[in-house]
Amino acid sequence: MIMHKVTTLNQFIIERQAEIPGATGEFSRLLHHIGIAAKKVHREVNKAGLVDILGKVGSINVQGEDQQKLDVYADKTFMDELRASGECCGVATEENQDIVVFEEGLSKDGKYIICMDPLDGSSNIDVNVSVGTIFSIYKRISPIGEPLVMDDFFQPGTEQVAAGYVIYGSSTMLVYTSGNGVNGFTLDTSIGEFCLSHPNMQTPESGKIYSINEGNYVNFPVGVKKFIKYCQEKDEATKRPYTSRYIGSLVADFHRNMLKGGVFLYPQTSSHPTGKLRLLYECNPMAFIAEQSGGLATDGERRIMEIKPEALHQRVPLYTGSRNMVQKVQEFLTFFNNI
């Protein structure tokens, strides 16, 4: 019987810790607790049809969206684990209007703040479609021992210490970067550990998939409409037409495109003139992962990670994925915006 060496998430984090400037055991503990929370959410997602955790809570979150029971569960689970880590002093999430500050215990002196979407795509859970968690980690800039300030959270994406996502699908995977490439870990339920399964993940420079909700076509900018028509045209040199694939879960769409090559588009529309996805806890972490895997992320004019946040739940357009495809979208947007 051949025994294969298995690298767990915790082993990998400790081995790679030296790559993070100034990091010590605190960062490792923080990611360890994120992994624990992900396992707990995985358990609930996978038995959702058997227990009373499907459907709506009956309340509306800060985004004006119906809260799902799993939204509330995931938010509380991650919040509890981050507080227990003792390394995170504050959190911004989709489910809370304001930042949550940990003012008791070891966490009040934590070095890190987290921006996260605890359960992206949760409306899909009732129909057994993949959902995910997105997280972004920063070092606080306010002095330890003093109250957190909003500027701790209003750092541009270029200041991220790490970012990642968990996708709860046919298997559960945790994918993260700390600025030295992207690595993916699949949950081995037989031992209860995330194990390295996708080392050094790379986004193909080009792909054949475009991901966009075409039901909103009439409300898209002209450049986006022209790009969609470009994707649908037959051209053997560029291997067109491309394939349209849209799940409606950012994590799932992004994950597929990173593995297979493609572009994800969520432009501004007449009903959402500044875009719909949130900069702090959706776009920035995904942009960090995209760039670290060889892809790009832009709002159509600017690099996502260079945008200075001005509000906790700030929305921006997002175009991300394979480098050549994102650049082609940018060409269409630039040309038709200047006419």
Binding-site sequence positions for Mg(2+): 94, 117, 119-120, 282
- Radius of gyration of the chain from Cα atoms? 20
d(CA 329, CA 212): 12
What does the alpha-carbon distance between residue 48 and residue 262 come to, in Å, rounded to a whole number? Answer: 31
Which residues line the annotated binding site?
94, 117, 119-123, 213, 246, 276, 282
Six-digit token pair at 159?
Answer: 């200041």
Determine the Cα–Cα distance for residues 275 and 282; give it in Å rounded to an integer: 12
Which residues are registered as beta bridge partners of 66? Answer: 60
The whole-angstrom separation of Cα 286 and Cα 283 is 5
Please name the amino acid found at residue 121.
G
Cα–Cα distance, 33 to 26 (Å, whole number): 11
Annotated binding site for substrate: 120-123, 213, 246, 276
| Cα(292)–Cα(183) distance, integer angstroms | 10
Contact criterion met (CB below 8 Å) for 278 and 313: yes
DSSP readout, 116-132? EEEEETGGGGGGT--EE
CA 203 to chain centre: 15
Q: Determine the Cα–Cα distance for residues 246 and 122; give it in Å rounded to an integer.
A: 15
For residue 101, count other CB atoms closer than 10 A to its CB: 15
With beta carbons less than 8 A apart as the criterion, state whether 56 and 42 touch: no
Q: Which residues, including other chains, have CB under 8 Å from residue 275's CB and lie 6 or more apart? A: 266, 267, 268, 299, 315, 316, 317, 318
Distance CA 107, CA 76 (A): 16
